[in-house]
Amino acid sequence: MERVPFWAIIGPEFEVTTGDVVRDFGAFYKTFFEKLDGDAAIDALNQGVASPDRKYDFLSATGLFIRAYTSYYKSYCTGKGMRDRIENLVTQSIQNPEVQRRGVNWARTKIKEGLADKEAHFNNMKNQFFFIDVFPDNAERFTLRHSDVLEKIRP
């Protein structure tokens, strides 16, 4: 969930050879510059093979963020993952003398309160990932909302 200095990436999700890359991306760029059509270029890159058997995929920064946040949410924001996360944070926080003075139950309550606002946490992650905190105009380019991602997570 680090900052992302690109709009999109094109590449394989598995190992390919140097020869594959030279041949396939040669076809991609030739088609792209001849037709100025990204979809046609992606088709040429994949030699006309339809999803899901395509070798290469196009993934926007937004798509990558959705994929990463979805994985994060499923792993750390629900069920056992959330409970483990809370206990890990309690263990870390208890090292602080002020937290020790107030007690484990106080720490657990404060951590649960802090983690309850998932939308605020999402927005913090989004603002960092898309550099919105550094370049506020990026907010107009990346309008993804927490509810948009949750719709993709829930069946």
CB 132 within 8 A of CB 126: yes
DSSP strands (E only) in 2-131: 8-12, 56-60
Interval 95-107: pLDDT, tens:
999 999 999 999 9
d(CA 121, CA 128): 11
What gap in Å lies between CA 78 and CA 72, rounded to an integer? 10
| Residue-wise pLDDT tens digits, 62-121 | 988 999 999 999 999 999 999 999 999 999 999 999 999 999 999 999 999 999 999 999
Helix (H, G, I), strand (E, B) or coil at 112: helix
pLDDT in tens, 26-68: 999 999 999 999 888 988 998 866 667 788 888 888 988 999 9
Distance set, CA 155 to CA 50, 149, 150 (Å) = 25, 12, 10
Cα–Cα distances (Å) from 15 to 22, 28, 53, 55, in that order, read: 14, 18, 14, 10
**Among 12, 123, 129, residue whose Cα is nearest residue 64:** 129
Do 81 and 46 form a contact (C-beta atoms < 8 A)? no
Which string of DSSP letters, residue by residue, matches 120-147? HHHHHHHHHHTTTTT-TTHHHH----HH
Query: Exposed, middle or buried, 144 (CB in 10 Å: 0-12/13-18/19+)?
Result: middle
What are the sequence ranges of the domains in the chain?
17-54, 76-153
Q: How far is CA 106 from CA 11, 92, 110, 111, in A?
A: 48, 14, 6, 9
Per-residue pLDDT at 25: 93
Please provide the average confidence, as pLDDT, over all residues in the chain.
Answer: 90
The structure's pTM equals 0.72
